[in-house]
Each structure stands twice: as structure tokens, then as C-alpha cells.
Amino acid sequence: MDYENIKFTHVLGARSIPEHIKDCLEEQPARSGMYNWIFAFKGEINTYWSIKDKLHEYDVIQCNMSPADMPMILMLRDQLTKTGNTKTKLVINNDYVCECWGDWGLDPYHYDHVQRQGDMVFGTEPHQVSNMLNGVFVIPHPTNTSMLKKLGSDMENDSVGFIFHWWSGDTYLPHRTLERVKEKFGVKMARIFAYKPDKDQMSAGRKLMWDETVGGLDFPDFAEYIQGERCVYDPNPCHTYGRNGVELACWGRPVVGSNRVFSYNMLFPELTCDPYDFNATMDCFDIVFNQPEKLKGILDRAYEKVEYFNYENSRKRFLDALKIAVERGGHTWYAKHG
């Protein structure tokens, strides 16, 4: 395989590319996350049905381990085996926080069986990967950092923005914390972003709790809006690589974040703590609002260090892992050792 010139495609299990994914792709390459692999490798996105008879034309086929796509992963392995295709490598990535795997109703034996179909399997952060098969790689998704760093904003708000995660749905303690932040540091507003009321455990009280709720925004609007916050708050209770941290570092915005998020630990360690430790959280906010020189040093360092996630470095991590995976035997290795 010519590793420097691989022909790459991301493959979906659907009959056609869903509209929400088309919308996501239109926002690329500014938005970070999984679909950036397509741009990092100058590749394609296809459905299984559109390429199942021409898999040999690709060097790498990447699939996400979503519940909807898991049957397709098995079909891809069957198709590669039936046609005697050993050239094309099946790469499987897990894009879901491990705390939510049990919500799918899939037994763990099936989950492991799906992973064993891959010639290379990767997750995006260490805790997730530790709960997968042996030999799974840690590779955070790539980001077009140079593009993100060009996205400025004229907005300036006296507020803290809380990032809501639909798969967690917790607003009780974040609201309580931000009320204390407003009182102690003289911040006027607490605004909740990416809000989905049907996923909020406290949705009945949201009008009483939040100064403003912001639902799902197109990425350019989100980028402009979030940069106007004095600080962002993300006490994420789950383990994830955290594309929000990458984006905020590119924009030079501080985030008081959870120590369960890979990007926060790497880029904003002084502003990162256990999401349920109120006292440590307030200490982090004190740095943001009362220690300007220290905060400037943190943001300047994060702005430089965020290049860890850029296309060039991400592509290198991916290819280094692929070489190891192929040389040790691809999917046959996972069958024996996973």
C-alpha cells in the first residue's frame, strides 16, 4: 500500500446519505469531528450500496460503530472475504462515549464481534479505548485548525455559556454552579447552548433556570455566538475527546471543563477539574475572572498546542496506526488477540 497516497472513503449503512450528514459536510472543513477524516485524506463519503461491488477501488474504507452502521460493518467484511479482497483495509472507529454503550441494548459479545471485523480499530480517547478490544488505537478526530483560527466574532456578552450534551441531559448542577458564578464574579447571564428540551431532565423549569436558551445552530452561527461569551462551562460527565475544547482553543476562549474530556486535559489543564467538584470548579472560574495574566498564558499555550489536532498530525497518527495494524495481520490479529 502506498500510505502517502491512499484512496479513502467513509461508508454509511444507509441507502442514501441522510440530510443531517449532508448539512454537516457543508459546514466542513470548519467544524471539527469525525467527518474531517474525509477532508484530511481528500477522500469521499459513500453508502455501502453504492460501492459494495467496487470495494477494490479503495485502499481504506472507514466506518463508524454506530448502532445503525454495525450490520453494514459485518456486510463489508463478508464482501471483502467473498471477493478475496485483501488490498482494501476496513477501518472501524468508535465515536460514542463508553458511558452510553449500554443504552443501545446491544450485548457486549456482539459489540466485540463487530470490532473484530476491522483491520484497524480506533477510538478517540483513552478511557473509551480501554473498554474496547486489545490492540485498539487512540486517535482523536482531526480538525482544520488553520480554518478555525480565521473564524472571528464581533459579539461580546457579559455571560457564561454552558454546553448542553443531549446524551447526558443534566442541567441541575450546572445551573446551580452558574448561579453561584454570577453572584460571586458579577457575571450578568448564564446561557445554555445546543439545548434540546426533550433531553433535559429539568426541562419543566428551564425558563426559571436559564437567562437564555440557544438550540442547535449552524456551525458558523455557533462559532460567532460562543466566541462572545466571557467563558464557556462544560462539566461533561462522560469520557470523550471533546471537539469543543479544540474549537475553543483555536478561538482563544477559556473553558472551565471536565477532566473526563481529553482535549480539556491537554489544552486547558488549569481550568479542568472533576465535573462534580464545586469548590474546584469555582477555583477554575477564579482564574478566568480574577487572574488575567495567568489566563492569558493558558490561552496562548492552548492556541499553540491545539495544532496536535490539525490535519497533518492527525493524518500521521492514523497512518502510523494503520501500518502497525496491517503489519501485524489486520482483522486476523483481532480475531486471535482482541
Residue among 257, 215, 250, 253 nearest 234 (CA): 257
Containing H/E element for 148? helix 145-148
Distance CA 155, CA 161 (A): 13
- Distance CA(259)–CA(176), nearest Å, equals 19
What integer pLDDT is reported at residue 63 of this predicted model? 96
Instruction: State whether 122 and 65 are in the same domain.
Output: yes
Distance CA 228, CA 151 (A): 12
Let me know whether 20 and 42 are in one domain.
yes
**pLDDT surpassing 60 at residue 311:** yes
Lowest-confidence segment of 46-50, 69-73, 105-109, 268-272 by average pLDDT: 105-109
Phi and psi torsions of 241, nearest 5°: -75, -30
Q: How many CB atoms lie within 10 A of CB 337?
A: 12
The CATH number given to whatever domain includes residue 192 is 3.40.50.2000
Are 153 and 244 part of one and the same domain? yes
Q: Give the other-Cβ count within 10 Å of 186's Cβ.
A: 9
Asked whether residue 207 falls in the same domain as residue 128, the answer is no
> Can you give the pLDDT at residue 164?
85
Whether residue 71 has pLDDT greater than 70: yes
DSSP state of 102: G
Mean pLDDT, the chain, rounded, equals 91
User: Of 6, 28, 19, 16, whose CA–CA distance to 243 is shortest?
Assistant: 28
Residue 327 is assigned to a structural domain of this protein: yes
Q: What is the CATH number of the domain that holds 55?
A: 3.40.50
Q: Which backbone phi and psi does 138 adopt, to 5 degrees?
A: -100, 110
**Residue 204: is its pLDDT beyond 60?**
no
**193 or 88: which carries more pLDDT confidence?**
88
At 1 the pLDDT is: 84
Q: Using pLDDT thresholds of 50, 70 and 90, give the confidence band for residue 156.
A: confident
pTM > 0.85: yes
Residue 226: give the domain boundaries. Answer: 146-308
Task: Give how many domains the chain has, as a whole number.
Answer: 2
**Over 70: is that where the pLDDT of 205 sits?**
no
Would you say residue 116 lies in a domain? yes
The total number of residues shown for the chain amounts to 338
Q: Are residues 236 and 328 in the same domain?
A: no
pLDDT digits (tens, 9 = 90+) for 3-22: 989 999 999 988 888 887 77
CA distance 294 to 257: 17
For 99, counting Cβ atoms within 10 Å of its Cβ (0-12 exposed, 13-18 middle, 19+ buried), the class is: middle
Amino acid letter at 261?
A: V
User: CA 258 to CA 264: how far, in whole Å?
Assistant: 7
* Same structural domain, 240 and 111: no
